Structure 1
Amino acid sequence: MTLYYTLIFGVLVAEMTMFILLMLPVPSKYRRPVTLALVKPFEQPQIQVAVKCVLVFILLLFVDTINRVYKIESELNVNPVAASGSDRAEVLSRKFYAQRNMYLTGITLFLTFTVFRTFHLVSELLTSKEVYRADPADKNQIKKEIAGIDAEIASLKERAESLQADM
């Protein structure tokens, strides 16, 4: 594996570690410091630019590997019978490496977006928990809103049943 695919594999391992740390079922008082510690380095503008450049580089490698897999596949389809055994083995070997690199870069890009979305969901959950725990007056207001919405749902269900009975 070349150096840049080894580095991409390192990025993939780091993303998997971050994803596991975000998904561990730990209490909120421990989750908040872990989440803040994970995101703190990425708040600096220099790091954000570097991460975006790395993601663009990985995207370019992904597109390149897709083209390479397509070329190798077309090479195999052009003349599959006339190729000798050693030539065919060499082409299949190149196809394997191209597919491996395509899957490596693709899953790295996918996991990047998954980790970012998961982080935003976890941070939103933590802020919602803080707001809910902070003000008891808001609890009563939220409970009233929930009761009003439940009553509206019940009335809509009754209307739907009566409309269905009329049909």
Structure 2
Amino acid sequence: MTLYYSLVFLLLVAEMVIFLALIVPLPFTWRRKLFTFVSESPLVAKLQYGMKITFIFILILFVDSVNRVYRVQIELAAAHKAEGRGGAAVLGGSERMEVQARKFYSQRNMYLCGFTLFLSLILNRTYVMILDVLRLEEEVKAFKGDPAAKKGSSLQKAGNAGEIGKLKEELAAKDRDMANLKKQVENMQKEYNRMGDQVSGSDATSRKGQ
């Protein structure tokens, strides 16, 4: 197995571990703290962005493996068709084993990439469903008057991992832009006052001369 397919296999194992961690029954308080941390962490947001790029490459590998399987199937079908017409064996023993090996490796890579992509969709959907369940549980506890329930908690606002961290970064950027704009307005005001003073001084001088 090549290096990149080995990395895909490790990613598949990591996805399986994460999926098991998501479905493990935990107390409501622990699960809420865990998902609050995941939703607010900028590091998780960056990791999620990197994983999206990784899955694009895995999709390319999946399409390539499907193409390889298709070509091997055509090659084997052409060989069986030629042998069925009563001709000589198109593929010898070693050649047939080599083609069968290429077929096996291509199918293995196709299944590996396909299951990795499929499990990523399942993980995303499972995460969203757990967030919805936690929000509903918090609403129920709030209606019952449970002091442990927090109305308007971060779980009710979290749609994607790191969304709050991203909003904080955008707010800081807007604050910086506002500060720069304020400095520009102050400089323009000073320049306007200076020019007004010069015009007033020249008018007074002209009047004295008259």
Aligned: 1:98 with 2:106: yes
Unaligned ranges ≥5, structure 1: 138-167
Identity of aligned residues (%): 44
Alignment of 1:1-167 (within 5 A): 1-37=1-37, 40=41, 43-44=44-45, 46-80=46-80, 81=83, 82=89, 83-136=91-144
In the alignment, the residues of structure 2 paired with residue 106 and residue 22 of structure 1 have an alpha-carbon distance, to the nearest angstrom, of 21
Residues 15 and 41 from structure 1, CA distance in 2 versus in 1: closer, same or farther, beyond 3 angstroms?
Answer: farther
In the alignment, the residues of structure 1 paired with residue 144 and residue 73 of structure 2 have an alpha-carbon distance, to the nearest angstrom, of 64
In the alignment, the residues of structure 1 paired with residue 131 and residue 43 of structure 2 have an alpha-carbon distance, to the nearest angstrom, of 14
Residues 21 and 36 from structure 1, CA distance in 2 versus in 1: closer, same or farther, beyond 3 angstroms?
Answer: farther
In the alignment, the residues of structure 2 paired with residue 16 and residue 38 of structure 1 have an alpha-carbon distance, to the nearest angstrom, of 18
Residues 9 and 41 from structure 1, CA distance in 2 versus in 1: closer, same or farther, beyond 3 angstroms?
Answer: farther
Structure with the larger helix share = 1
- Contact 1:22–1:35, Cα closer than 8 Å, also in 2: no
- Contact 1:73–1:95, Cα closer than 8 Å, also in 2: yes
User: Residue type of the partner of 2:105?
Assistant: Y
- Alpha carbon RMSD of aligned pairs, Å? 1.8
Deviation, structure 1 residue 41 = 6.1
In the alignment, the residues of structure 2 paired with residue 35 and residue 16 of structure 1 have an alpha-carbon distance, to the nearest angstrom, of 18
In the alignment, the residues of structure 1 paired with residue 10 and residue 42 of structure 2 have an alpha-carbon distance, to the nearest angstrom, of 17
Residues 53 and 68 from structure 1, CA distance in 2 versus in 1: closer, same or farther, beyond 3 angstroms?
Answer: same
Deviation, structure 1 residue 38 = 5.3
1:151 corresponds in structure 2 to none
Q: Secondary structure at the match of 1:79?
A: helix
TM-score, normalised by the number of residues in structure 1: 0.75
**Of 48-57 and 110-119, the range deviating more from structure 2:** 48-57
Larger C-alpha radius of gyration, 1 or 2? 2
Count of equivalent residues: 136
